[in-house]
Structure 1
Amino acid sequence: MTANSVSTDTFSKAISVQKLTQFCDDYLSASAFKDYAPNGLQVDGGRPVQRIVTGVTACEALIDAAIAVNADTIMVHHGYFWKGESDTITGMKGRRIRKLMQHGISMIGYHLPLDAHPVVGNNAKLAEALNMKVIGALYPNESHPVGNIATCVPQNADSLIAQITKALGRTPLNISAHYNHADPAANAKGNDKIIERVGICTGGAQDMIEQAAVMNCDAFISGEISERTTHIARELGIDYFACGHHATERGGIQALGDVIAEQFGLPVMFIDIDNPA
């Protein structure tokens, strides 16, 4: 558990969940996004907001942790009601929402708006953690880009792997742009390609690697990897770093929690539910 800028002692301040949601909607420009799930208030627990827990995903473990610290509001990057999932509130989803309602806990989620924000967004915070400077959009025509291009001090893959490992607490999987199929043993010598221009899109954006190659990036960083990603990286000559979906998306919700704590003077606690994916 990690506390944000305000302690979690007893507080008398309170705001409505509608006021909190409206602030976040405006701050993140939530209405500008066509998303895969509703952004904003997803479950209204019926209580004023006095203590907030933030986390990456609204899993049952996060709900249990929020109950344990007497939180009345949970804010996450991965909420509920995704396109394609069952409309019924049964099974796993039913258990989660039942716990929220029984304990009067509201749940607020922001997906793409929290990826794209230029200050507290997942991409922005990952670039900051890796000492990179965001210089533009991966897709230039997007007004609120969910993928970015950043520059870094010229370095090889081993150096970038070390930076990512230090920043995220886990070693990324690197697919080298220069894999030698004719002499596989030669690949053990390492990858000396210099990386300076990097595409970044956290989470499950591995298929944006082709756009990163189109935009002349030396490397692309995301969270997940698919079988096809390996072949794309090798054939297009672009290094790929799979850094973990969860690991790359911790930064945004923590940064949003800091903003809320400062704005409203409320206690905000980030709780990290371990996830190796």
Structure 2
Amino acid sequence: MCSSRQTTQKPDFPARTAPRVGSLRELDAAIATCRACPRLVAWREEAARVKRRAFRDWEYWARPVPGFGPSDAPLAIVGLAPAAHGGNRTGRIFTGDPSGDALYAALYDIGLASQPTATHRGDGLELYGVRITVPVHCAPPDNRPTTGERDTCRPWLARELELLRPALRVIVVLGAFAWQALRPVLAEAGWQLPRPRPVFGHGAEVLLAHPGGGRPLHMVGGYHPSQRNMSTRTLTPAMLRDVLRRGADLAELPARPHHGGPRC
């Protein structure tokens, strides 16, 4: 766990900093320094101090977790926030928790990831044409960020999508929270959301026009691969693969050799 700690930052740190960064590498580095939300800072550091018994030998990341994937990805996947003992521990989004186990296995099955597991930064995992990010970059208590925390964090997501924009064709949105969080970001970026406002659902699809002559953007909704959704079969591995494959098809990602039979 990083030992250099400030007490706080002004809430406008993301809004002041995000527009100035010129690359995803710079953005990821800036995100990791953010301390704009006192409740989230306290929670992520408390989780790293207390730890889970299974991870007592880990040095937790305990900072905001940036996005993961190439800068020229035509497909983005947007989730919710890091898990306290997942991304907050490993320093990589959807890594080291059951949600990540489900997501990366599905990406591997359809040829968009180099391996089916994600355990830690530096484990060799690569994504092909896919960038994964979140509206809230710190682990929230009970996996529930407040609307204020979501809005404070919004400039990071807005700048990330802006930097991805030259290649971006599709966003797969995992969960209703991300669906709601994306709407103002996309509108501010110039894409036109249809009226009435599109309703979230698994498999929902929306095409957003860009009046400035830019490339239109597809949004595809999917249930979040949370442990609860997967254990109750609200979302199955096959359902998750299908929505990700739909996103890949719309993004015109090239087919890759199949990695064997999919997990049930």
Do both share a fold (TM > 0.5)? no
- Alignment TM-score, normalising by the size of structure 1: 0.27
Q: Which has the higher strand share?
A: 1
TM-score relative to the length of structure 2: 0.28
Larger radius of gyration: 1
